[in-house]
């Protein structure tokens, strides 16, 4: 790291500027990267262009200083002159800045600072740190580098510039304060959901007339004996050894969340629908919403509950129902909605519902490849067993049937496509097997096909299919919650803290989905993860300027963004601050942590 001198002529006058640079390795070899611009260090011959800086001394008093290189004679009898030792300039207190600043900007655009302040800063509550700022800290951490409250205190927060951004005094942030903040957030869950729904509408004109409903789970580390919500159930996280909580999420077709709910870990998906319907009606009133959910939560009872409330639905159905539409599946009359997707409407005789047959060539190729692999494995096992039986190596019928059962268990997807018998020929056992042609033909016909069901008025099948395929937005929301936002695992052992952890993850997702749609609106190809990673390399640091009289001047600055970072910041409409906190003047033996 060193100072670079820049010469520039302006209006016939020469100017000297300085920047702080470092050498970095690149695929094209070593290159110099500009960290910060220091601007012009004055020259005595250019006194009328003197540029001063305002600094604060150790007593908090401010005054103006004029910076000169130590090799240049400044104007005489000027007490405000500071001569800088250029060979001793250094960079200290480097902190993560870019991603945290982006998180704070998203927090402000959702007006979460205005939302939380009156709710958390009650009269007579003289907290050392405003609770609304602690809430911002928790949400920004969940967006940028999710971790436990202890990890925030010990590792993440000290490495960030959030003390400057949020104005939290040194030594005032600890895990106890974060836990207490969690306790204060949870009672305002419903108000938060309503506030965010309104902001999505104002920022992106988001509508919530079509709702996508899906479920996931998150497991807890530890026994969680004081949390009755944590139970063992079907684990989507492949952690059946851990107790879990089920999370139901409702989003619109663009992925903006309307609400979420938590259920006991052993709660079946099918049993959650009516409870969620009541919850949404209680919070947002009754309306003719269209509910879209997958076949995992479909039951006749749930559909009847929707019809009783005047609700409309578009749902997936079990694959077994396709058998009842074999004739329509094999006939023509399909409508192309995409190059690789075709659909067909099949009204029911009663007229209350419509079924939509869908067929995807990409899905067909995938399923055919899977079936071919399993069929090849099944036939290989049958041929091997047939050979063993024919050579007399396996003579006991029970052992033959047990071996046959193992082969079928390894290939359940195709086991019913083969007719297999153990017969006796000429006093010896033999294995006979062959394909069931009718079943194999039906399997080939249904490959890539699936069936939807709706009580919406019959309309263009393309629109119905498009609405259903939007379920991928709910799946994308869960992927973000589980990967980028790390909603799992949960380390809290108390029910209220576990629920507050999920609320903070919901807040983090609110920031994430806002960033996603800001990037989409500006035509950026960057994902939220890419944008955070790119801006995460921007840091703030103290440029320490030692002077010839034994003082040190500290200028807290943000590193200069690269061309790619500038382009992203412009797309998001974000302007970086020129400086952080204030510039300081202190004695040489004084240090800032």
- Please check whether residues 313 and 217 belong to one and the same domain: yes
pLDDT higher than threshold 70 for residue 40: no
**Residue 502 covered by a domain:** no
pLDDT of residue 374 exceeding 80: yes
Domain of 469, CATH number, reads 3.90.350.10
Residues 6 or more apart whose Cβ sits within 8 Å of residue 395 = 389, 428, 429
Same domain, residue pair 318 and 229: yes
Q: How far is CA 224 from the centre of its chain?
A: 26
Least confident of 99-108, 231-240, 380-389, 578-587: 578-587
**Residue 102 is assigned to a structural domain of this protein:** yes
Say if residues 516 and 529 touch (Cβ distance below 8 Å).
no
Find the mean pLDDT for residues 33-50.
Answer: 56
Q: What is the distance of C-alpha 15 from the center of its chain?
A: 48
Spatial separation of the C-alpha atoms in residues 20 and 5, rounded to whole Å: 9
Dmax over CA atoms of the chain, in Å, equals 123
Res 42: pLDDT: 57
Residues 327 and 392 in one domain: no
Position 91 confidence tier, pLDDT thresholds 50, 70, 90: confident
Render pLDDT for 138-183 as a digit per residue (tens, 0 to 9): 999 999 999 999 999 999 999 999 999 999 887 889 999 999 999 9
Domain with 305 in it: 206-353+455-493
Pair 221, 337 in one domain: yes
More confident residue, 77 or 439: 439
What CA–CA distances, in Å, run from 167 to 58, 130, 170, 173, 418? 19, 10, 9, 11, 71
Q: SS3 letters for 309-356? A: CCCEEEEECCHHHHHHHHHHHHCCCCEEEECCEEEEEEECCCCCCEEE
pLDDT in tens, 332-350: 889 999 999 999 998 887 7
Same domain, yes or no: 462 and 336? yes
Cα Rg of the chain (Å, integer):
33
Q: What is the pLDDT of residue 430?
A: 92
| Span 49-71, pLDDT tens digits | 445 667 766 666 677 777 777 76
The pLDDT of residue 46 is 43
pLDDT digits (tens, 9 = 90+) for 318-331: 888 888 888 888 88
pLDDT tens-digit map of 185-236: 999 999 999 999 999 999 999 999 999 999 999 999 999 999 999 999 999 9
Q: Kindly state the tokens that stand for 14.
A: 């020469």
pLDDT at residue 423 above 80? yes
One domain, residues 235 and 346: yes
Instruction: Count the domains in the chain.
Output: 4
Answer yes or no: is 499 within a domain. Answer: no
Domain co-membership, 470 together with 343: yes
Q: Token pair of 545, please? A: 């300027």
pLDDT of residue 593: 41
pLDDT band at 48 (very low <50, low <70, confident <90, very high): very low
Neighbours of 242 (CB within 10 A): 21
Comparison of pLDDT for 67 and 309, the residue scoring more: 309
Q: Can you tell me the distance from the alpha carbon of 321 to that of 316, in angstroms, rounded to the nearest whole number?
A: 10
Looking at the structure, tell me whether residues 183 and 219 fall in a common domain. Answer: no
CA distance 177 to 101: 22
Residue 511, domain member (yes or no)? no
Residue 243 falls within a domain, yes or no?
yes
| Same domain membership, residue 103 and residue 75 | no
Whether residue 297 is contained in a domain is answered as yes
**Shared-domain flag, residues 343 and 468:** yes
Residue 588 banded pLDDT, cuts 50, 70, 90: low
Say how many Å lie between the first and final Cα of the chain, rounded. Answer: 20
Stated length of the chain = 593
Structure tokens at 190: 């419903």
Does some domain include residue 341? yes
Q: Residues 252, 326: one domain?
A: yes
Average pLDDT for 553-576: 90
Asked if residue 500 is part of any domain, the answer here is no
Model pLDDT, residue 590 = 45
321/439 same-domain check = no
At 43 the pLDDT is 54
Mean pLDDT of 413-427: 89
**Mean pLDDT of the chain, nearest integer:** 87
pLDDT score at 47 = 43
């Amino acid at each position: 790291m060193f100072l670079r001198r820049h010469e520039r002529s302006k209006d016939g006058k020469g100017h000297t500027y300085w920047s702080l640079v470092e050498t970095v390795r690149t695929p094209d070899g070593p290159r110099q990267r500009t960290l910060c611009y220091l601007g012009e260090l004055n020259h005595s011959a250019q006194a009328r262009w003197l540029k001063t800086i305002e600094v604060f001394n150790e007593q908090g008093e401010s005054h103006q200083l004029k910076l000169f290189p130590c090799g240049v004679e400044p104007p005489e009898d000027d007490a405000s002159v500071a001569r800088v030792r250029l060979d001793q300039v250094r960079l200290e207190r480097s902190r993560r800045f870019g991603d945290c600043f982006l998180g704070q900007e998203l927090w402000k655009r959702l007006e979460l600072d205005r939302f939380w302040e009156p709710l958390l800063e009650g009269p007579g509550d003289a907290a050392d740190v405003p609770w609304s700022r602690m809430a911002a800290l928790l949400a920004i951490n969940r967006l940028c580098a999710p971790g436990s409250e202890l990890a925030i205190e010990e590792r993440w927060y000290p490495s960030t510039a959030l003390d400057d951004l949020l104005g939290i005094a040194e030594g005032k942030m600890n895990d106890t304060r974060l836990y207490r903040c969690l306790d204060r957030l949870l009672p305002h869950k419903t108000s938060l959901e309503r506030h965010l729904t309104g902001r999505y509408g104002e920022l992106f004109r988001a509508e919530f007339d079509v709702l996508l409903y899906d479920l996931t789970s998150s497991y807890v580390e530890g026994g969680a004996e004081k949390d009755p919500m944590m139970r063992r159930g079907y684990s989507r996280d492949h952690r059946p050894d851990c107790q879990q909580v089920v999370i139901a999420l409702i989003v619109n077709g663009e992925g903006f969340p309307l609400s979420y709910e938590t259920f006991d870990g052993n709660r079946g998906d099918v049993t959650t629908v009516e409870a969620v319907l009541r919850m949404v009606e209680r919070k947002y009133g009754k309306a003719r919403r269209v509910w879209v959910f997958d076949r995992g939560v479909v039951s006749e009872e749930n559909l009847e509950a929707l019809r009783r409330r005047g609700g409309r639905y578009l749902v997936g159905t079990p694959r077994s129902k396709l058998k009842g539409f074999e004739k329509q599946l094999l006939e023509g009359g399909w409508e192309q909605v995409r190059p690789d997707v075709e659909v067909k409407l099949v009204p029911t005789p009663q007229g209350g519902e419509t079924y939509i047959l869908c067929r995807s060539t990409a899905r067909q190729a995938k399923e055919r490849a899977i079936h071919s692999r399993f069929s090849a494995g099944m036939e290989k096992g049958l041929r091997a067993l047939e050979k063993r039986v024919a050579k007399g190596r396996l003579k006991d019928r029970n052992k033959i049937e047990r071996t046959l059962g193992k082969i079928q268990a390894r290939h359940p997807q195709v086991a019913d496509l083969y007719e297999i018998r153990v017969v006796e020929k000429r006093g010896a056992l033999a294995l006979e097997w062959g394909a069931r042609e009718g079943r194999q033909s039906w399997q080939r016909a249904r490959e890539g096909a699936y069936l939807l069901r709706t009580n919406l008025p019959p309309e263009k099948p393309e629109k119905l299919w498009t609405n259903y395929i939007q379920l991928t937005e709910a799946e994308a929301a869960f992927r973000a919650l589980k990967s980028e936002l790390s909603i799992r695992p949960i380390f809290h052992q108390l029910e209220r803290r576990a629920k507050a952890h999920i609320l903070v993850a919901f807040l983090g997702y609110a920031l994430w989905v806002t960033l996603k749609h800001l990037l989409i609106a500006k035509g950026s190809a960057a994902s939220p993860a890419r944008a955070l990673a790119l801006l995460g390399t921007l840091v703030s640091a103290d440029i320490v300027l030692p002077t010839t009289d034994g003082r040190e001047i500290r200028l807290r600055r943000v590193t200069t963004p690269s061309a790619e970072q500038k382009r992203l910041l412009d797309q998001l409409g974000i302007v970086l601050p020129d400086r952080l906190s204030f510039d300081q003047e202190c004695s040489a033996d004084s240090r800032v942590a």
